[in-house]
Structure 1
Amino acid sequence: MTRDAILIVEDHEVSRELAVALLTAAGYTVLEAEDGRGLLDRVKRERPSLILMDLQLPHIDGFTLTRQLKADAETCQIPVLAATAYAQPEQEIKALEAGCVGYLTKPLDVQTLLKTVARLLDH
């Protein structure tokens, strides 16, 4: 059974593949992006139900991307869940201030990821 589409924005291939495998196995449709180039247009076009956003990306960071998504009337309602290897409290505060609805640290805990995604998508 296919459920909501989740866009994973992650430049680290192994981390992206792990998230894709976990979410696909849970029945979600998964879209992938290696960086933030063209992300706003892609989100408008593909309309994911949730975005799993790495905060440290090449070209444009996840904080900036999240602020852009939240500032656009067409994308502001899509929840953005931060995923990062940086577990400092100030990074979490910065992510939430940018508009993220949650903050997960890597390596991702399988149960925490799946529970958080289900909660955010009301499943």
Structure 2
Amino acid sequence: MTQEKILVVEDHPLNRELVVTILEIRGYTVLEAEDGLGLLERVKAERPALIIMDLQLPHIDGFALTRQLKADPETQDIPIMAASSFAKPEDQVRALEAGCAASLTKPLDCAVLLETVARLLHRA
């Protein structure tokens, strides 16, 4: 079992619970956030190995949060996976341009989620 720490940033409680449960069953340590307020400081303090970021969040969207994290030398090395209901190809491109290492569309396929998490953690 792995003890890698993953931060799930998702404002919808049921979506967050689903991702958290899937990851915990696989042995990951999971941190949760429902919005981006104070996220930069929290990421610096907690040092997750991976961030799964919803792109539609209250207060500040996941695109802006990703750009902030990638612009900061203390957090720029942490891979970020977008998980969003934005399904258009241009939305996927926007996520990658913001700094996401991968972008998955909701509803999430559990197998694809776990494969992507494993790939990003081993690359990091």
Offset, 1:122: 1.3
For 1:44, the equivalent position in structure 2 comes to 44
TM, length-normalised to structure 1: 0.98
Amino acid at match of 1:56: Q
| Aligned residue identity for 1:92 | Q
Determine the C-alpha separation between the residues in 2 that align with 1:114 and 1:2: 13
In the TM superposition, residue 86 of structure 1 has moved relative to its aligned partner by 1.2
> 1:95 & 1:110 partners in 2: Cα distance?
20
1:63 has 2:86 as partner: no
* 1:114 alignment counterpart: 114
Structure 2: how far apart are the matches of 1:36 and 1:49? 18
How many residues align? The count is: 123
State the Cα deviation string for residues 14-39 of structure 1 (Å, max 9, x = none): 00000000000011000000000000
Large movers: runs of 4+ above 3 Å: none
- The corresponding residue for 1:3 is 3
Distance in 2 separating the partners of 1:31 and 1:87:
26
**Aligned match of 2:16:** 16
Q: Secondary structure at the match of 2:36?
A: coil
Q: SS of the residue aligned with 2:122?
A: coil
**TM-score, normalised to structure 2's length?**
0.97
Q: Shift of the alpha carbon at 1:2?
A: 4.2
Q: CA RMSD in A?
A: 1.0
- Structure 2, unmatched stretches of 5+, are none
Amino acid aligned to 2:24: T
Give the 5 Å matches for 1:85-96: 85-96=85-96
**Structure 1: where are the runs of 5+ without partners?**
none
Aligned twin of 1:77: 77
CA distance in 2, matches of 1:2, 1:93: 31
Indicate the larger mover: 64-73 or 1-10. 1-10
